[in-house]
Copies of this chain bind each other. A is one copy, B any other.
Amino acid sequence: MATLLIRNASILTPRGLVEGSMLIEGNRIAKIGSIAQIGKTSAKADSIIDAKGKIAIPGLVNAHTHVSMTILRGYGEDLPLDRWLKEKIWPIEAKQNLADVEASAYLSFCEMIRSGTTAFADTSLFDPSVIMNAAKKAGMRGIVAQSFLDFGNEKKTKEALANLASHEKKKFEKSVGSRERDLVSLSIAVHAPYSCSSELLIKAKETADKTGLKLQIHASETRKEIFDCLKERGKYPIEYLEDIGFLGENCILAHAGWLTKREIASIGKRKASVASCPISNLKLATGGISQITELDAAGANVALGTDSAASNNCLDMFQTMKMASLLQKHHYWKADILSTQKTFAFATQNGARAIGFDSGTIDIGKLADIVLLERGPNLVPAHDILSNLLFSAGSQNVCDVIINGNIIMQGRKILNLDEAKIMDRAEKVAQDIKTR
């Protein structure tokens, strides 16, 4: 089993900062402490990173994104969600082929790695294998799904149901319920309550339950969605999902920006995950602030996401963490509404829990997803390390990235990917689609 020693770091553990070293055996953290505490194995480590002056933090988890859309960054600016989707995004996505998706995925992984993200949850309209393969090559951890939608169209419902049935037949998880899952795993996804028939939603939930895969959906993103749902069904979207038996621990509800108190209680009771995407919500002027403080108190698993780079316009979880925290303070007119510790957990351990991996903290036995941050003037002084991480740190501090025990970026160089080529290809593809 390959071993990696990270020396001389300030290590952020669940019990506070440890000044010392960390031994990774295979894909898990084996030891944390002084070199003496780590013992003889430290001298024989296969790889050694000297992290003097650096802070080791758990990798950030992006619990809601669409890597196929990164090549649409800056395309379709200044529109509300409804018009943005119908006038700009869906028409151009209809012209995207799988090679474009691949180019966009690789670009996304470069951006994620550079901004300290080690795991992600993705949905797209495309066959998931292209994105899964690109993620594997990059060395990223994640879950990937094709998102089904039928708009109540019978033919589309049939297609989606057939596709879901094929999911059931495959053995997707090497060992569901055991500690090990594939680094990149498949997930089930349905687009949204407003774009899917109840038949499709129910079947998706059944498939997720049977296969042990995570179940992703957009829900309660815009006020329009709420009004439409009330008008059509006489219920709020999450009420509706609860009534058809959709909510559960395997659910990831993206956005959840317009919730009634009763819906918050339902999500909490079902221990579902919420992937709040504050930057995208503001950019598309959805008007809602996800009540993540109340969701957390109700028992929901609150995680954070960037949404796509087409509505953010980054895949930067440092920005997202900071925004999530600031918006809670603002929304409740209460500067201490949400602790820095809790917000940081949303972006790390809760994200890992949402997407189903045993990572998200730096602790003995945990999967080794670690980011080393270099000191810069923006991180001085160190009155409060967690506050610095939440409010002051950024991509400019991200120096080294380790995922599943593998070194993915070292000294700001991404190892598994040819970044310059990826940027050139993505640029070319992005311009080309517009001419089709």
Question: Which positions in A face B, CB cutoff 8 Å?
Answer: 71-75, 77-80, 84, 107-108, 110-111, 114-115, 223, 279, 281-285, 287, 309, 312-316, 319, 322-323, 326-327, 329-330, 332-337, 339-340, 375-378, 380-385, 387-388, 391-392, 394-396, 419, 422-423, 426-427, 429-431
Contacts and interface: CB of A to CB of B under 8 A. Distances in A.
Contacts of A377: 107-108, 110-111, 114, 419, 422-423
A394 B395 contact: yes
A373 to B, nearest CB: 12
A334 B111 contact: no
A285 B108 CA distance: 33
A82 to B, nearest CB: 10
B282 A329 contact: yes
A285 B73 contact: no
B282 A327 contact: yes
A252 to B, nearest CB: 24
Given A330-B287, A336-B79, A114 B378 contact: yes
A381 B431 contact: yes
B340 A77 contact: yes
A330 B282 contact: yes
A380 B79 contact: no
Given A383-B72, A388-B313, A430-B383, A375 B423 contact: yes
Q: Chain copies in the assembly?
A: 2
Given A381-B74, A381-B426, A383-B430, A391 B312 contact: yes
Q: Do most interface residues of chain A lie in helix, strand or loop, or is the interface mixed? A: helix
Contact of A378 (B111, B322, B387, B392): B111
B107 A380 contact: yes
A349 to B, nearest CB: 21
A388 B73 contact: yes
23 contacts: A71-B381, A74-B383, A74-B385, A74-B391, A77-B387, A78-B335, A80-B334, A108-B377, A111-B378, A282-B329, A282-B330, A285-B329, A285-B335, A313-B387, A314-B378, A314-B392, A316-B378, A377-B422, A380-B427, A381-B431, A382-B427, A394-B394, A395-B395
Contact of A396 (B287, B385, B394): B394
A383 B314 contact: no
